[in-house]
């Protein structure tokens, strides 16, 4: 699948097509909507170590870090927590292929806790911000540094249990770790920051009255102009139904670029982002009301499509008669996107 990869020499981000084999991770360049036949590079997994979640980039909370036995670092970014955990589990399985007990332990940890149905992390954060029933923010001192509007690890665990988001302290710690993984909250101070470097996922968030945390900058309530707040509320506040990397044909130059697509309901919008950019703002999007969506034939190049694309195309026509040509990575993925979009039109 597609994943943004940070370059080694020039530290920019490029989207590549990754293929996981038993002993290596290959990545390919996409040109004109088609994967090049030879890999652009490879990551040898023998002796490799994996860090997930990786919190080295505050505005990229869904990273996987791979360090090879030659101490070369690779940073890969995923679309969602579920996708990140799936990639991390499969890569770790390949690294430890000769150690089945470790792989079984990974599966056990992955399946040990599931978020309650109909509750999203966004909902939890909204409740945390509530002035009357949310988590209490206090000033704290840590090794000579003063921090405003913080809360302790144990206070968050208590709050999650008292608001019925978790039934035990173990579940609350797991849920708090999810909030930290997704960059809703972040550690501040020495104790909580050092814990994030632990190789044990269960020890990254501390249920402790001396471990300090605060809301991450990216999740703070907007204090911008009314126009920008209105834009965010009208388009970007809907429930995320589906997200993933797709290849899109440009409107003017007709070139193909990988974009991160986010499908939202109530209101129904489809936005797309440039995954190579640091800021998390859409580069485009449109309302799905009145749109038509359909698959395109894989035989030949359909009218309106430029380049030597490799099939799995679908088209969305907006009510303003704007045509979007999008390519999925497989027939199954194309079907999933069409079925997710249709009910929202």
Residues of the chain with CATH 1.10.10.10: 121-215
Q: Which helix (H) or strand (E) holds 43?
A: strand 41-44
What pLDDT, on the 0 to 100 scale, is given for residue 69? Answer: 84
**Which pLDDT score is estimated for 9?**
64
Beta bridge partners of 295: 314
pLDDT of residue 81: 84
pTM of the model: 0.64
| Predicted local distance difference test score (pLDDT) of residue 8 | 66
Instruction: Provide the CATH topology of domain 2-110.
Output: PH-domain like (2.30.29)
CA proximity to 135, closest of 49, 26, 27, 212: 212
Contact present, 208 and 189 (Cβ < 8 Å): no
Query: What pLDDT was estimated at residue 157?
Result: 94
| pLDDT at residue 289, as a whole number | 93
pLDDT at site 220? 43
Residue linked to tokens 């044990």: 200
Q: Which CATH class for the 121-215 domain?
A: mainly alpha
DSSP per-residue string spanning 184-239:
SEEEESHHHHHHTT-SSGGGSS---TT-EEEE-GGGSPP-S-HHHHHHIIIIISSE
Residue written as token pair 């485009």: 284
pLDDT for 227: 38
- Residues of each domain in the chain carrying CATH 2.30.29.30: 2-110, 233-342
pLDDT at 113: 54
Q: What is the mean pLDDT of each run of 10 residues along the chain (345 residues)?
A: 83 91 90 82 90 81 88 90 88 78 55 58 84 89 80 94 88 86 81 76 82 70 38 70 92 84 92 85 89 85 74 91 91 95 95
Find all residues with CB under 8 Å of 183, minimum gap 6, and list them. 58, 59, 61, 216, 218, 219
Per-residue confidence (pLDDT) for residue 100, from 0 to 100: 54
Is CATH 2.30.29.30 what the domain over 233-342 is classified as, yes or no?
Answer: yes
């Amino acid at each position: 699948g597609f994943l943004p990869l940070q370059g080694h020499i020039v530290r920019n981000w490029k989207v590549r097509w990754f293929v996981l084999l038993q002993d290596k991770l290959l990545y390919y360049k996409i040109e004109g909507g088609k994967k090049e036949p030879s890999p652009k590079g490879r990551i040898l997994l023998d002796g490799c170590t994996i860090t997930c979640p990786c919190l080295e980039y505050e505005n990229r909370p869904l990273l996987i870090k791979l360090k090879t036995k030659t101490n070369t670092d690779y940073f890969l970014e995923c679309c969602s927590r579920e996708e990140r955990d799936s990639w991390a589990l499969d890569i770790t399985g390949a690294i430890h292929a000769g150690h089945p007990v470790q792989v079984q332990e990974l599966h056990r940890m992955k399946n040990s806790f599931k978020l309650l149905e109909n509750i999203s992390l966004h909902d939890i954060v909204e409740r945390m911000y509530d002035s009357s029933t949310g988590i209490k923010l206090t000033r704290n001192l840590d090794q000579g540094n003063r921090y405003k509007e913080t809360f302790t690890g144990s206070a968050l665990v208590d709050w999650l249990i008292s608001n019925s988001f978790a039934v035990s302290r173990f579940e609350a710690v797991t849920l708090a770790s999810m909030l930290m993984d997704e960059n809703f909250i972040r550690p501040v101070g020495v104790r909580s920051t050092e814990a994030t470097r632990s190789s044990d996922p269960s020890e990254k968030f501390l249920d402790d009255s001396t471990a300090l945390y605060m809301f991450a900058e990216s999740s703070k309530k907007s204090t911008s102009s009314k126009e920008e707040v209105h834009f965010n509320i009208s388009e970007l506040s809907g429930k995320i139904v589906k997200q993933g990397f797709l290849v899109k044909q440009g409107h003017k130059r007709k070139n193909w670029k990988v974009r991160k697509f986010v499908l939202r309901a109530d209101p129904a919008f489809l936005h797309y982002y440039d995954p190579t950019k640091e800021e998390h703002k859409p580069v485009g999007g449109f309302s799905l009301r009145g749109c038509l969506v359909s698959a395109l034939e894989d035989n030949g190049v359909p009218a309106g499509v430029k380049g030597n694309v490799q099939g799995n195309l679908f088209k969305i026509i907006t009510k303003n008669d704007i045509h979007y040509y999008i390519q999925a990575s497989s027939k199954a993925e194309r079907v999933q996107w069409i079925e997710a979009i249709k009910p929202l039109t």
